[in-house]
Amino acid sequence: MAAEGIVFDIQKFCVHDGPGIRTAVFLKGCMMNCIWCHNPESIRRNPELAFESQKCISCQACAAACKQGVHHFDAAGNHEVNFEKCAACQACIHVCPTRCLKIFGEKMNAHAVIKEVLKDQKYFKSSGGGVTFTGGEPTVQYDFLLEMMKVAKENNLHVCLETNGIIFSEKLSHLMSYTDLFLIDYKATGEIHKILTGVEESFVRQTIDSIHKAGGKMILRCPIVEGLNDSEEHFAQIRKFKSQYSSILNVEIMAYHASGLHKWESLGIDYSLKKMASATPEMKKYWEAKIAE
Amino acid sequence: MKTKKEELDYVLAFTEIYQSESDIYLREAKCLQWQTPQILVPLEKDDLVAGRMQHRFVGFSPQYGGLYTYFFHEDKVEEALSGLKGELSEEYVTKMKEITAFWEEEKTLNRLNKRFHEMGYSIGAGYHEPGISNSEGRLAGTTVDLDKLITLGLDGLKAEICAKAKENQQAKNFYQALLMTVDTIADACNYYEKQAQTLYALTKKESLFKMAEALHSIQTRAPQSFLEGIQLLWVYAMISDLMNYGRMDVALGDLYVKDIDVKGIDEESVIAILESVYRHMLRVHKIHDSRVIIGGKGRRNEQNADRFAMTIMETSRRVKEVVPQLTLRYYTGMDEAVFDKALAVNAEGCTYPIIYSDDTNIPAVMQVYGVSEKEAERYLPFGCGEYVLEGASVGTPNNGVNLLKALEITLHNGYDPYWKKQLGLKTGEPDSFKDFEDLWKAYQRQLRPSVEKPAIHKRLNYDVAAEQAGYLQISLLMDDCISRGKGILNGGVRYENASSEVFGMISAADSLTAIKKLVFDEKRYTLKELVEVLDSNFEGREDVRQELLVAPKYGNDDDYADEIACRVFKNIADLTIEAGKMVGLNHYNMVSVNNSMSAEWGDICMASACGRKAGAPMANANSASIGADKNGITALLNSMSKFDNNVHVGVINNVRFTKELFASSYEKVKAVLRTFYENGGVQTNIGVVGRDDLENAMKTPEKYQNLLVRIGGFSARFVELSPIIQNEILLRTTYGS
Q: What is the DSSP string of B422-470?
A: E-S-----GGG--SHHHHHHHHHHHHHHHHHHHHHHHHHHHHHHHHH--
Same-domain status, A127 and A96: no
Distance from CA of B610 to the nearest CA of A (A): 16
What CA–CA distances, in Å, run from B559 to B443, B565, B676?
A: 21, 9, 18
Cis peptide before B37 (omega within 30 of 0): no
Cβ neighbours of A21 in B, within 8 Å? 634, 668, 671-672
Residue of A9, A10, A11, A15 to mutate for B, most B C-beta atoms under 10 A: A15
Of B543, B631, B668, the CB nearest to A15: B668
Contact A96 B546 (CB under 8 A): yes
User: What was the pLDDT predicted at A226?
Assistant: 93
How far B390 CA lies from chain A's nearest CA (Å)?
A: 33
Q: Pick out chain B residues at pLDDT < 70.
A: 65-66, 124-128, 737
Profile chain A (293 residues) by mean pLDDT over runs of 10 residues. Answer: 89 95 97 93 94 92 96 94 94 91 96 98 98 97 98 98 96 97 97 96 97 97 95 97 96 90 88 90 94 88
What stretch of H or E contains B77? helix B74-83
Cβ neighbours of residue B14 closer than 8 Å, sequence gap 6 or more:
B31, B34, B35, B56, B58, B59
**Chain B residues close to A25, C-beta within 8 Å:** none
B100 SS3 class:
helix
Say if A127 is an interface residue toward chain B (CB within 8 Å): yes
Residue in chain B closest to A97 (alpha carbons) equals B543
- Pairing mode, strands B386-389 and B648-651: unpaired
| Inter-CA distances, B466 with B60, B72, B483, B486, Å | 13, 18, 18, 10
Does residue B344 sit in helix, strand or coil?
helix
E-assigned strand segments in B532-676: 587-592, 648-651, 654-658
C-alpha dist (Å) from residue B329 to B369, B524, B551: 19, 47, 36
The CATH number of residue A60's host domain is 3.30.70.20
* Same domain for A149 and A31: yes
Give the other-Cβ count within 10 Å of A14's Cβ: 21
Q: Are A57 and A67 in contact (CB under 8 A)?
A: no
| pLDDT at res. B125 | 59
Per-residue model confidence (pLDDT) at position B65: 62
B668 contacts in A (CB within 8 Å)? Answer: 13, 15, 20-21, 127, 129
Whole-number Å distance between alpha carbons of B364 and B17: 46
Q: Measured between beta carbons, which residues in chain B are less than 8 angstroms from residue A96?
A: 543, 546
Q: Find which of B668, B669, B735 to mutate to test the A interface (most A CBs within 10 Å of its CB).
A: B668
- Residues of B with CB below 8 A from A120's CB? 634-635, 638
Question: B678 to chain A, minimum CA–CA distance in Å?
Answer: 10
Predicted TM-score (pTM) of the model is 0.95
Chain A environment of B657 (Cβ under 8 Å):
none
Neighbouring residues of A236: CB distance < 8 A, sequence distance ≥ 6:
A189
> Using an 8 Å Cβ cutoff, are B174 and B487 in contact?
yes
- Say whether residue B679 is in contact with chain A using an 8 A CB cutoff: yes
Record: contact A11-B632, CB cut-off 8 A: yes
C-alpha dihedral, A200 to A201 to A202 to A203, nearest 10°: 70
Give the distance, in angstroms, between the CA of residue B379 and the centroid of all CA atoms in the same chain.
Answer: 14
Helical (H) or strand (E) element with B32: helix B24-39
Per-position DSSP letters for B169-213, written without gaps between them:
GGGHHHHHHHHHHHHHHHHHHHHHHHHHHHHHHHH--HHHHHHHH
Please say which residue of A104, A122, A151 terminates a domain. A104
> Which residues of chain A have a CB within 8 Å of the CB of B542?
97-98
Q: Between β-strands B715-717 and B708-710, what pairing exists: parallel, antiparallel or unpaired?
A: antiparallel
Query: Would the CB atoms of B634 and A96 count as touching at under 8 Å?
Result: no
For residue B604, CA distances in Å to B36, B503, B569 come to 42, 13, 22
Contact B671 A95 (CB under 8 A): no
A288 to chain B, closest Cα gap in Å = 16
The reply to whether A36 and A172 lie within a common domain is: yes
Q: Please indicate, yes or no, whether residues A283 and A183 belong to a single structural domain of this protein.
A: yes
- CA-nearest residue to B632 within chain A is A12
- A20 in B contact zone (CB under 8 Å): yes
Domain count, chain A: 2
For residue B556, the chain A residue with the least C-alpha distance is: A12
Rounded to a whole number of angstroms, the distance from the CA of A115 to the nearest CA of chain B is 12
**What letter would DSSP give residue B627?**
T
- Confirm or reject contact between B167 and chain A (CB < 8 A): no
Name the amino acid, one letter, at B197: Q
- Kindly state whether B547 is in contact with chain A, defined as any CB-CB distance less than 8 angstroms: yes
The answer to whether the beta carbons of residues B595 and B699 sit under 8 Å apart is no
* Cα→Cα distances B717→A210, A261, B706, Å: 58, 37, 7
Domain boundary among A87, A104, A121: A104
The total of other beta-carbon atoms located within 10 Å of residue A74's CB is 9
Does ipTM come in above 0.85? yes
CA distance B543 to chain A (A): 4
Q: Tell which residue, B324, B316, B236, has the closest CA to residue B281.
A: B324
B543–A12 CB contact, under 8 Å = no
| Chain A: closest CA distance from residue B75 (Å) | 53
- The residue among A82, A104, A126 that closes a domain is A104
Tell me which DSSP letter residue B640 carries.
Answer: H
Residue B351, helix vs strand vs coil:
coil
With CA atoms as reference, report the closest residue to B145 among B541, B475, B509, B422: B475
The answer to whether residue A95 neighbours chain B at the CB level (below 8 Å) is: yes
Residues 33-92 of A with CB under 8 A from B: 61
B543: contact with A, CB 8 A cutoff: yes
Judged by CB atoms closer than 8 Å, whether chains meet at A127 and B633 is answered as: no
Q: Which residues of A touch B635 (CB under 8 A)?
A: 12-13, 119-120
Residues A188 and A285 in one domain: yes
- B581 touches B497 (CB < 8 A): no
Same domain, A79 and A125: no
Q: Which of residues 232-291 of A touch B (CB under 8 A)?
A: none
Of B546, B547, B668, the CB nearest to A127: B668
Do both A112 and A94 map to the same domain? Answer: no
Residue B138 DSSP one-character state: -
Task: Count chain A–chain B contacts defined by CB atoms under 8 A.
Answer: 65
Residue B334 sits at the chain A interface (C-beta within 8 Å): no
DSSP string over B568-608: HHHHHHHHHHHHHHHHT-SEEEEEE--SSHHHHHHTTS---
CB contact under 8 A, B675 and A15: no
Clarify whether residues A37 and A109 are in a common domain.
Answer: yes
Whether B675 sits inside 8 A of A12 (CB atoms) is no
Angstrom distance (rounded) from CA A276 to CA A217: 34
CATH number of the domain encompassing residue A231: 3.20.20.70
Q: pLDDT value at position A1?
A: 56
Are A81 and A214 contained in the same domain? no
* CB A212 within 8 Å of CB A247: yes
Is B735's CB within 8 Å of A122's CB? no
Q: Look at residue B66 in the predicted model and tell me its pLDDT.
A: 64
The rounded distance, in Å, linking the Cα atoms of A140 and B265 is 68
CB-based contact, B634 to chain A, within 8 Å: yes
- Inter-chain residue contact A94 with B547, CB threshold 8 Å: yes
Say how many C-beta atoms besides its own lie within 10 A of residue B253's C-beta.
Answer: 29
Verify whether the Cβ–Cβ distance A98 to B671 is below 8 Å: no
- Statement to judge: residues A181 and A213 lie in one domain: yes
| Nearest CB to B665; choose among A12, A15, A122 | A15
Domain that holds residue A76: 49-104
> Are A90 and A178 in a shared domain?
no
Quickly count: other Cβ atoms within 10 Å of residue B82's Cβ. Answer: 9
3-class SS of residue B91: helix
Q: Is B560 on the interface with A (CB under 8 A)?
A: no
DSSP B461-497: HHHHHHHH---HHHHTTSTTHHHHT--GGGTTSSEEE
How many angstroms away from the CA of B544 is the closest CA of chain A?
7
Nearest to A70 by CA among A47, A55, A91: A91
Listed in sequence order, the residues at least 6 apart from B129 whose beta carbon sits closer than 8 Å to its beta carbon are: none
Give the closest-approach CA distance of B300 to chain A in angstroms.
30
Nearest residue to B88 via CA among B15, B9, B17: B9
- Give the distance from residue A127's alpha carbon to the nearest chain B alpha carbon, in angstroms: 6
Going from the C-alpha of B516 to that of each of A19, B97, B519, B525, B552, the distances in angstroms are 40, 60, 6, 11, 10
Closest CA to B423 of B436, B437, B438, B412: B412
Q: Which residue in B has a C-alpha nearest to residue A120's C-alpha? A: B634
Interchain contact, B672 vs A13, CB within 8 Å: yes
Residue B156 CA to residue B171 CA, distance in Å, equals: 20
Q: How far apart are CA A258 and CA A256, in angstroms?
A: 7
Residue B323 near residue B360 (C-beta atoms within 8 A): no
Does A280 lie in the same domain as A199? Answer: yes
